[in-house]
Structure 1
Amino acid sequence: MRLPTEPGPAHEASLAVARRAVELGVTLIDTAYMYGWGANEELLAEALHPYPDGLLITTKVGVARSGASGEWKLDGRPPVLRAQVEQALRRLRVERIELLQLHRIDRETPLADQVGTLRDLRTEGKIGRIGLSEVTVDELNQAREIVDVASVQNRYNLLDREHEPVLAACEAAGIAFLPWRPVAWGETGAKAEIAAVAAEVDATPTQVALAWLLGRSPVILPIPGTARIDHLEENLAAECLEMTPVHRDRLDRLPEVA
């Protein structure tokens, strides 16, 4: 999402970031139609196609531009979802999207129509697995009555645990939980405690936040975004960060920030 796609030096830097991520062992890259209205998907294809074995590019559909102003709105009508999947296949240069996620549930379209369309596209071989984004436990359960759900992508981080029940439901069902906005800073006191833990484990606050997520549940797969190689390398180094149970307990007790 954060990678610039406009022509010029920033575009070349974006290609380098994507390629470096794969060099460092990243096996899942998250994109969406909404990220540049397809431009981000095209950028990833330019950078990485033909894709190496084991690399999964996941994209999202269900958001459309509307009106002369180009404002975005949720649109989960079956013809729109079908068209966006076909466009994503073309932009990503693949015959099947291994993980396709519904960007948001469109409240004006029956949920059964939305996930049913994705189920049909899976049957047709155009989708491998189906995921959801920003859902409640009840919505997840409703969707699972219609189709197998492989992933959920909700906002979740050290200081924002609103979707803790959804994480618990995913863990119980063996569904991957991909927290977006995995790093977020809140009130001064919370930031000070995170900084203190970071100093004690010789890491950055960002690395502490990501390491906390990685240790929170075996189904969590954080998807931090960046447009810089140094930030990318900093993020990935969080995987090797070791924190004691005492450190984790201090972080667990941090207040959520609205």
Structure 2
Amino acid sequence: MTRQIDATAAGHWTLGGDLRVARMGFGAMRLPGDPRAGRLNDRDTALKIVRRAVELGVDHIDTAAFYFHGDLSANELIRAALHPYPDGLVIATKVGPYRGPGDAMPTGELAAGDLRAEVERNLRELGRDQLDLVYLRPGLLEPPGDESIGERFAVLAELRERGLIRHLGVSHVSAAQLAEARRIAPVAAVQNRFDVTMPADTALLDVCTREKIAFVPYFPLGGFGLPDDDRVRRVAARHGATTAQVLLAGLLALSPVMLAIPGTSDPAHLEENIAAAGLRLTDEDLADLSAVG
């Protein structure tokens, strides 16, 4: 009998030097539904997806308290599906953006003085005494800037010293902001927008590879819809794979520090995404993908 491909087929990375995770993880942003489209997910389906992800070897889930739609929130769904949590499960979250109950997307940023309450909100919603990994995410959807993040990152560094957070990360940052954060406290992971058709942060990925900092792209499948590119489709055709699987395998081939966290609200797409952990691309494939964009 052929063994089912699971998340461990992509190998592992050790976050912060002590949290070993499969390089194929799961992003929870879409679990509650799509607030931009006004589409609410079915609660039972969402719970099944989270449980199935863990069954398929996922031990790294990325979430945030501002991932909610209607009466469903990603944090609550994760807790309902998995608590008490299995040994070895790493849950990462992020703080910084402000999103009110009626907002489809975050509309502003929390001040430094508000970050502790947001960390405590994540702890409460997830039912944890300590958060494994917390990213500071400055800015919204505009390109990362070079404004100082030191005051806000220092708040998270203090919470790490107090034991509420195990490891720190930064998201949606420039190289200068990453360097600023690292002068305050160790950074275990960077979460910036990146996919093989939009590799604008290659230089930052090189920094992370050299410094052994995990690089965890958000929107690994292009964000608001799969990229439409003949070269990606050509690689997919060679392997009998889907476009999404090629995009994920292409990411994982770029660096050993690359971790993938594709998200979905569809059980079939979950299976498809996880199976990409076993897809091995050739040099020809990678050359094709490097020309995409």
* TM-score for both structures, normalised by structure 1: 0.90
Q: CA deviation at 1:232?
A: 0.6
The aligned residue for residue 115 of structure 1 is: 153
The aligned residue for residue 4 of structure 2 is: none
Seen in structure 2, the aligned counterparts of structure 1 residues 66 and 11 have a Cα distance that, compared at 3 Å, is: closer
State the alpha-carbon separation in 2 of the partners of residues 163 and 71 from structure 1. 24
Aligned length in residues:
251
2:138 counterpart SS class: coil
- Greater relative contact order, per chain length (Cα 8 Å cut-off, separation 6+): 2
2:99 counterpart SS class: strand
Which deviates further from its counterpart, 207-216 or 56-65? Answer: 56-65
Q: Is the 8 A contact 1:153 1:180 kept in 2?
A: yes
The aligned residue for residue 53 of structure 1 is: 87
Amino acid corresponding to residue 100 of structure 1 in structure 2: V
State the alpha-carbon separation in 1 of the partners of residues 213 and 61 from structure 2. 18
Q: CA deviation at 1:105?
A: 5.1
The aligned residue for residue 75 of structure 2 is: 41
Report whether the alignment pairs 1:97 with 2:135: no
Q: Is the 8 A contact 2:133 2:165 kept in 1?
A: yes
2:65 counterpart SS class: coil
State the alpha-carbon separation in 2 of the partners of residues 240 and 69 from structure 1. 38
* TM-score for both structures, normalised by structure 2: 0.80
State the alpha-carbon separation in 2 of the partners of residues 43 and 253 from structure 1. 39
**Which consecutive residues of structure 1, in runs of 5 or more, have no partner in the other structure?**
none
1:72 counterpart SS class: coil
State the alpha-carbon separation in 2 of the partners of residues 229 and 215 from structure 1. 25
The aligned residue for residue 3 of structure 1 is: 31
* % same residue: 40
Seen in structure 2, the aligned counterparts of structure 1 residues 105 and 115 have a Cα distance that, compared at 3 Å, is: farther
State the alpha-carbon separation in 1 of the partners of residues 41 and 286 from structure 2. 41
Q: CA deviation at 1:163?
A: 1.1
The aligned residue for residue 176 of structure 2 is: 138
Q: Is the 8 A contact 1:74 1:104 kept in 2?
A: no
Amino acid corresponding to residue 259 of structure 2 in structure 1: L
Q: Is the 8 A contact 1:76 1:114 kept in 2?
A: no
Seen in structure 2, the aligned counterparts of structure 1 residues 148 and 105 have a Cα distance that, compared at 3 Å, is: farther
Q: Is the 8 A contact 2:131 2:164 kept in 1?
A: yes
Q: CA deviation at 1:65?
A: 3.2
1:148-227 to 2 correspondences below 5 Å: 148-184=186-222, 185-186=226-227, 191-227=229-265
The aligned residue for residue 122 of structure 2 is: 88
Seen in structure 2, the aligned counterparts of structure 1 residues 65 and 239 have a Cα distance that, compared at 3 Å, is: closer
The aligned residue for residue 14 of structure 1 is: 46
Q: Is the 8 A contact 2:172 2:192 kept in 1?
A: yes
Q: CA deviation at 1:71?
A: 6.8
Q: CA deviation at 1:110?
A: 4.9
Seen in structure 2, the aligned counterparts of structure 1 residues 246 and 110 have a Cα distance that, compared at 3 Å, is: closer
Q: CA deviation at 1:70?
A: 8.1
Amino acid corresponding to residue 135 of structure 2 in structure 1: Q
Q: Is the 8 A contact 1:5 1:40 kept in 2?
A: no
State the alpha-carbon separation in 2 of the partners of residues 69 and 200 from structure 1. 43
Amino acid corresponding to residue 83 of structure 1 in structure 2: A
Q: Is the 8 A contact 1:201 1:242 kept in 2?
A: no
Q: CA RMSD in A?
A: 2.4
Q: CA deviation at 1:77?
A: 2.1
Q: Is the helix fraction higher in 1 or 2?
A: 1
